[in-house]
Structure 1
Amino acid sequence: MTDYDDDKPKPRGELAMKVVPLPADTNANGDVFAGWLVQQMDIAAATLAGRISRGRNATVAMDRMEFLSPVRIGAQVGCYCELEDIGRSSMKIHVEVWTLDRIAQTPRKVTEAQFVYVAIDEHGRIREVPDQAG
């Protein structure tokens, strides 16, 4: 990394999922529905939560989102996830969404949010997250 790279924004966390929205995922103007984008973010973060909890988990909260720019049909949508905090049974995961339009050369950040998951057992009851040291 050089000094020149410091002014180039880049995603926070690891790429957890990449998907391309199709016509059914968009409104009449060709912009992706917000709900579709939230769904993709939840899937990506739940995948990380499942690896951390080593099993089932459930979404219990999501913080406020602000959409910085619309996502167009055909854009590559990348969800980047990072564990922010871990409790006895809960996990806070930060999710950023970056897109690369079909004709664009540089990715752009679309939105971000924090999702909270709780580890659950096979009966749907809260359980402890396994020790991460092992």
Structure 2
Amino acid sequence: MDANTWPLLEQIRECLDQNDGLAEEQDRRFLRLLKIGEEFGKPGETVLGALSLKEGGTREDARHELCDVAITALVALVTLRPDAEMDFDQRLWQLVYRLQKEQVANGVDDRAFPQGKVHVTPHPLA
């Protein structure tokens, strides 16, 4: 992600808000969360297709569908929270820190996470 990611997500949210025909903010939030569920099934279908277990779908299609899931989830987050970027960053730091702590506790070489270049300390807001 780069400096344009969050402003673009906000633009998507604004566009959806203007065109979704919903008067109630609560309905809008609920439907954005349901949309994540709808998008979630698509990568699985394309992976099955890419593995020739089901007709259609390529690995590239699966990657695109996973991006759609991530974007849909982030737009929902932006809809729910005006400070979504901070929430996302804080949660990402928490998860990485927890994983790194678990690796060290399990005797796994901490250089293996990730590529031995990032040593994570708790996020200042965590």
| TM-score of the two chains, using structure 2 as the length reference | 0.28
- Higher share in strand: 1
- Higher share in helix: 2
| TM-score of the two chains, using structure 1 as the length reference | 0.27
Q: Which structure has more RCO (C-alpha within 8 Å, separation ≥ 6)?
A: 1
